[in-house]
Structure 1
């Protein structure tokens, strides 16, 4: 063991008991010393804890800088080979997902052609070690394509590329299936049913990891619109928040699902929670994520205000509709009353004219004339009642509809 490595290990051991700020500083300095000396970390990594394990934190910073200097599949192969010797078997999967996907996202601006990862993996050899190296390189390249939302290209790479095929049975890992789901949700050639099937397969897998959950929710959030999308994202994000209550990303995904479902107040509460958790997070991409969350918050606020305006407009429409209905009922009632008055008035005029003819002409006796007037009046009264009754029967159903609708 050289002097630089011995010094770094001693400092990292001491950093275990230090506070968070001091531990971060020590890990940054140790990674910089290893880079300057041209010496990869020569210690074992046993966890993927970015908050408490100084050895993982130091190795993470070392390889992040290596990827930034040369963000290619060649660096991914070198990192995977180092992991074969230095990362314990029980932590290899978590470390591989963290480094491959994370560095793919951070270096999304430097996307290799699909042939370069295949060429880099070609010399990795076979067996379990070769498959793990191919799997790591596949995740690294897929992380770039995912970050750039190259859905169809990602689908083709995962399904058909030699690098992906060389991963062997590791292609059945939940995180790999989640990436296929992400690609399918964004593709314009694959169906929503196919994407949803992949999503549920990855989501229900026993070995589901935090990155698997994140990719599943990411695919749902950025999928082309489809019926039930908001509710599906909301229900899965709620489950993720219950399992990881301190994860800012899952609160942000939940806010997106609630926003899609029209529950703007709850969405605003969750995006504010995501911003607060992000501020306390040591993530390297805090600035970019904060911008994304603030943009989402603005969209939620705008949707909330639009919903309030729509509710007010709907209330005004309902009030206007009620007023129009009342006016229509009043006009209808007035016209019916007018018909009834005209009928009665017509009967009265006819009675008056007829009674004058009876009384002024003819030579009937007074008693006969009185009986004739009585009969004529009764007939005209019956006529008036028939007109009024018929009008009431005709308009009764209309009145009933008005009452039931009111």
Structure 2
């Protein structure tokens, strides 16, 4: 292969449309594979959508790892990256490739023996910066994460020889975010420890886009706990503010809003994620993410419908309760008024009968009869007032209890 001719052709592709650029870069990547040689150009940017060199190299290593998804090929990729990527772009591309290729090849998690064999070669031939070991660690770790093998991921990151060989990279925010992912998903690790790891990764001054993505993903898929939805919604909103064109962060925000039962806001966020999801690139990833987003959208719509139905049911129940309470008040007041009327009527009859008897009693003087009639009337009036007053107090107390 004439590398100079291919590199000139790639440079000319920069003016192509995005779809044509993607297809042509993939065609040149396959040429490199068919001829058994690695690209010799240098990558000086992280423009995944417009830099033909970056796109071609990405396709090349994607095909290599898809054909042979092993740590040995991942280490070859890490070595090529160290030699052919500008230092200022190296960390971002390392994270993007390690995690991206892991996700694409997640169905081929290597056994502990295979990892041990690869580790011996990696440790023996790695550079002082441990970049190959770190790339391989990220690659294998994210395979475990993609398969939700939380306890296996925790053990691998904490104590495996390959992870230990990553050296100072173990303090990187992305490494800590992967630890948080494992901790959130494990039922053997406390929520407090998981959240402490999350906070360390999230608030690291040198946190990266990949760090945010992994940390939010762990918070979203972990074992449910109190305030999970609110934490996810708050931090995902921060991620969306920092990266407004990132569809995955809009998806995470929709998930947090869904967990908080904010269905209208969640619907807006998931629609934004679907709108921002690019239709170009590797179709498998696009279709997989689109299906995942549409499934979430359906869940949001179902939750929204159930919430509206529950609100309508609560309104009907409250209306019925108010109606029944009103009827009860009417019946109670009617009974109390009846008691009052009967009491007053009884008092009047008793007064009439008693005063008639006193009036017809010829043994008493007129002044005595008037005095007795007056006392009788006063007593019966007091009796009637007590009945009416007691009824009023009872009605007021019952009305207050109903209001409470």
What is the TM-score normalised by the length of structure 1?
A: 0.93
Report if the CA contact (8 A) 2:19-2:280 is conserved.
no
Partners of 1:384 and 1:193 lie apart in 2 by 70
Partners of 2:354 and 2:22 lie apart in 1 by 114
Query: Cα distance 1:90–1:58, how it changes in 2: closer, same or farther (>3 A)?
Result: same
Report if the CA contact (8 A) 1:77-1:120 is conserved.
no
Q: Match for residue 189 of structure 1? A: 188
Q: Match for residue 274 of structure 1? A: 273
Query: Cα distance 1:84–1:373, how it changes in 2: closer, same or farther (>3 A)?
Result: closer
Structure 1 stretches lacking a partner, 5+ long: none
Q: Match for residue 288 of structure 2? A: 288
Report if the CA contact (8 A) 1:20-1:51 is conserved.
yes
Q: Match for residue 255 of structure 1? A: 254
Q: Match for residue 302 of structure 1? A: 302
Partners of 2:366 and 2:332 lie apart in 1 by 46
Partners of 2:386 and 2:19 lie apart in 1 by 97
Query: Cα distance 1:120–1:130, how it changes in 2: closer, same or farther (>3 A)?
Result: farther
CA deviation vs aligned residue, 1:290-349 (integer Å, no higher than 9, x gap): 000000000000011011111111111221222222222222222222222232222223
The alignment status of 1:98 with 2:113, answered yes or no, reads: no
Moved over 6 A (4+): none
Q: Match for residue 320 of structure 2? A: 320
Count of residues paired in the alignment: 402
Indicate the SS of the match to 1:230. helix
Partners of 2:172 and 2:375 lie apart in 1 by 102
Partners of 1:127 and 1:116 lie apart in 2 by 18
Report if the CA contact (8 A) 2:25-2:55 is conserved.
yes
Deviates more, 1:112-121 or 1:198-207: 112-121
Indicate the SS of the match to 2:277. helix
Report if the CA contact (8 A) 1:11-1:26 is conserved.
no
Structure 2 stretches lacking a partner, 5+ long: none
1:173 is displaced (CA, Å) by: 0.8
The alignment status of 1:112 with 2:116, answered yes or no, reads: no
Q: Match for residue 214 of structure 2? A: 215
Query: Cα distance 1:249–1:50, how it changes in 2: closer, same or farther (>3 A)?
Result: same
Partners of 1:295 and 1:21 lie apart in 2 by 27
Report if the CA contact (8 A) 2:18-2:49 is conserved.
yes
Following superposition of structure 1 onto structure 2, how do residues 60-209 of structure 1 map, counting pairs within 5 Å? 60-124=58-122, 125=124, 128-129=127-128, 131-209=130-208
1:401 is displaced (CA, Å) by: 4.4
Q: Match for residue 334 of structure 1? A: 334
Computed over aligned residues only, the root mean square deviation of the Cα atoms, in angstroms, reads 1.9
Q: Match for residue 398 of structure 1? A: 398
CA deviation vs aligned residue, 1:127-149 (integer Å, no higher than 9, x gap): 64461111111111111111111
